[in-house]
Chains A and B, each alone.
Chain A
Amino acid sequence: AQKITQTQPGMFVQEKEAVTLDCTYDTSDPSYGLFWYKQPSSGEMIFLIYQGSYDQQNATEGRYSLNFQKARKSANLVISASQLGDSAMYFCAMIDTGNQFYFGTGTSLTVIP
């Protein structure tokens, strides 16, 4: 069974608008971590944001915030004030207590000028 599900293969957003990228996860572990990574067309993987399963508050890093809904097992990424440079693939990932990482299949975001 898939551990991480990203149901949006591709998304478009107007420059300066906000966009939400969806991610749901599957684990029975009480302790886990959730991540978002950005992969531009150049190919490198760039860490964006982290949320621990016991963190009370949603994580934020600059224009990135993680909308963590534990009961629904969702960890959506919100990008505010989109910029052209935000066009990239975005991957949601999880680490469980077995110390294994699981990545979703990614969402391709295109920012329209």
Chain B
Amino acid sequence: DADVTQTPRNRITKTGKRIMLECSQTKGHDRMYWYRQDPGLGLRLIYYSFDVKDINKGEISDGYSVSRQAQAKFSLSLESAIPNQTALYFCATSDGLRETQYFGPGTRLLVL
């Protein structure tokens, strides 16, 4: 089984809809991250969390919110999706030592 899982893997939605992307990990890591990837822009950090009570904004947090329900679960929400949020979304975890990040398989989101 994969150490970092993301659901759904693909999603199509309409402008204005609320969307939640979920991430679960079995690596036992405290640190979790959400990124989006756009062609030509690489990965950009949306939010990160170093433990259940710690949530931090990343480079591009506007239009997004997160919830750290447990050490193993970190959800990303788009309260009112817009077309320019169409992207590939990655969840990642790290153990805080060498800070190597381990990525989930990604969620492809299309907002019409």
Interface: B43 (CB within 8 A): yes
Q: Can you name the residue of chain B whose Cβ is closest to the Cβ of A33?
A: B99
Nearest Cβ in chain B — how far from A56, in angstroms?
16
Contacts of B105 in A (CB 8 A): 43-44
The 8 A CB mask of B43-58 against A (1 = contact, 0 = none) is 1110010100000101
With A35-B100, A47-B102 known as contacts, the answer to whether A100 contacts B59 (CB < 8 A) is yes
- The tally of CB-CB contacts under 8 A between chains A and B is 54
Interfacial residues, chain A to chain B (CB-CB below 8 A): 4, 33, 35, 37, 43-47, 50, 52, 91, 93, 95, 99-106
A sample of 12 more A-B contacts (CB under 8 A), given A43-B88, A93-B43, is A4-B42, A33-B99, A43-B108, A44-B103, A44-B106, A45-B106, A47-B100, A100-B45, A100-B59, A102-B45, A103-B43, A105-B40
B residues at A contact (CB < 8 Å): 33, 35, 40-45, 48, 50, 56, 58-59, 88, 90, 92, 98-103, 105-106, 108
Can you sample 20 A-B contacts with CB below 8 Å?
Answer: A33-B98, A33-B99, A35-B101, A37-B103, A43-B105, A43-B106, A43-B108, A44-B105, A44-B106, A45-B103, A47-B101, A47-B103, A52-B98, A99-B50, A99-B56, A100-B48, A100-B58, A101-B101, A103-B35, A103-B42
